[in-house]
Amino acid sequence: MSAVWTLRRGEAGYPACLHDLDERAPGVLYGVGDRSLVSGLDPDRVVTIVGARRSGAYGRGVAHELGYGAGAAGLIVVSGMALGCDSAAHEGALAAGGSTVAVLGNGPDIPYPPSKSELHERIAGEGGAVIAERPPGQQPEPRFFPERNRIMAALAGTVVIVEGRHRSGTRHTANEAEALGRDVGAVPGAVTSSLSELPNDLIRDGAAVVRDPQDLLDLGLGVGVARARGVGPALEAELERVLLAVEGGAATCDAVALETAVEGRSAAVALARLELMGYVTADGVGRYARTALLPPTVDE
């Protein structure tokens, strides 16, 4: 475990953006990993990506793609290292070779949830940082998590909500971002999904639509300033048919085989190939979801 460092309010190196919280700015930040990364945070180069813990393959896949696109473009990705969308955003940034900061509701030296101990180690050891306003050794308590959301909102110039229900901690992060005058974006989702309640509400109320990494970069940096790395390898005709079936809602191998009239074994192979190529993601029960990666055009 890396040594724990501190950044105290009023001292050199304390992130200036946290002063936007006025009297609610944390008196001390404790952290592990790259202290200078946190000291030098510029909200214009930071995006916070958050969403539901109990997310589906769709939410995790989009969060990963957004984290990857932001990290590849040189933005710093902030999230809460929670299960689901938060962890996927961190993992996407790391996969792109980018920097990411996790904000915890307990001591920064304690991986939480425990199942994310490897991710905690990677973030701290691969040029990122894990920070908290709670001192080392502090175990998590339910009240700490809503409190940490204000920090995630204040660190970034842009906050993107991937998934969440009407009443959730993710709603609190969105409210904090709006109160601070941050740019708020949301990922549209199925109107029949409770996990899409919050982002769809935010879009209705004026939040920017974030469909893919390019939308995120246009929102955070300005339209056309940076181009997302969103083009994957070329697809054969059968893979194109299978991918279209997944886009249309066929979420299992059997459903894809039925939709495309492709034999079951071939459908399974096609889905595995599409996952390796980055076009789909699969959850633990074998349900597939489309990622934001685009196939190349004829000219490409």
CATH number, domain at 282?
1.10.10.10
Total domain count, the chain:
2
Question: Of 7-21, 74-88, 223-237, 277-291, where does mean pLDDT reach its minimum?
Answer: 223-237
CB atoms within 10 A of CB 12: 7
Residues 44 and 139 in one domain: yes
Mean pLDDT of the chain: 91
> What would the mean pLDDT of 167-188 be, rounded to a whole number?
92
CATH number, domain at 191?
3.40.50.450
Question: Of 128-137, 165-174, 221-230, where does mean pLDDT reach its minimum?
Answer: 221-230
> What would the mean pLDDT of 174-191 be, rounded to a whole number?
95
Confidence of residue 72 (pLDDT cuts 50, 70, 90): confident
Question: Of 141-145, 167-171, 289-293, where does mean pLDDT reach its minimum?
Answer: 289-293
| Beta pairing partners, 290 | 280
Question: Of 50-54, 97-101, 183-187, 285-289, where does mean pLDDT reach its minimum?
Answer: 285-289
Q: Helix, strand, or coil here: 33?
A: strand
Return the structure tokens found at 118. Answer: 């490897």
Residues 177 and 137: their CA atoms lie apart, in Å, by 29
> What would the mean pLDDT of 59-66 be, rounded to a whole number?
92
| Beta pairing partners, 77 | 47, 100
Domain of residue 100, residue span: 5-221
272 to each of 16, 62, 234, 239, 250, how far by Cα in Å? 46, 18, 15, 10, 15
CB atoms within 10 A of CB 227: 14
Which pLDDT does position 58 carry in this prediction? 87
CB neighbour list of residue 68: distance below 8 Å, 6 or more residues apart: 92, 93, 95, 96, 98, 213, 229
Q: Tell me which residue of 83, 90, 88 sits closest to 115, measured CA to CA.
A: 83
> Domain boundary at 189, 221, 253, which?
221
> Domain boundary at 186, 221, 256, which?
221
Query: pTM for the complete prediction?
Result: 0.78
Instruction: Judge whether 111 lies within some domain.
Output: yes
> What would the mean pLDDT of 247-259 be, rounded to a whole number?
90
Residue 99 has pLDDT above 80, yes or no: yes
Rama region for 26: left / alpha / beta (φ>0; ψ in -120 to 50; rest): beta
Residues 70 and 119 in one domain: yes
Instruction: Judge whether 49 lies within some domain.
Output: yes
Residue 213 has pLDDT above 50, yes or no: yes
Which pLDDT does position 136 carry in this prediction? 95
Which pLDDT does position 85 carry in this prediction? 94
Residues 191 and 282 in one domain: no
Which pLDDT does position 56 carry in this prediction? 81
> What would the mean pLDDT of 250-279 be, rounded to a whole number?
92
Residue 78 has pLDDT above 90, yes or no: yes
Which pLDDT does position 168 carry in this prediction? 80
Torsion, CA 21, CA 22, CA 23, CA 29, rounded to 10: 50
> Domain boundary at 221, 253, 276, which?
221
Instruction: Judge whether 231 lies within some domain.
Output: no
Interhelix angle 57-72/85-95, rounded to 10 degrees, is 40
Residues 88 and 166 in one domain: yes
Q: Helix, strand, or coil here: 295?
A: coil
Question: Of 14-23, 50-59, 174-183, where does mean pLDDT reach its minimum?
Answer: 50-59
Residues 142 and 280 in one domain: no
Which pLDDT does position 280 carry in this prediction? 87
Residues 130 and 92 in one domain: yes
Residues 79 and 86: their CA atoms lie apart, in Å, by 5
Residues 206 and 253 in one domain: no
Residues 196 and 263 in one domain: no
Which pLDDT does position 300 carry in this prediction? 43
Which pLDDT does position 37 carry in this prediction? 96
Residues 114 and 44 in one domain: yes
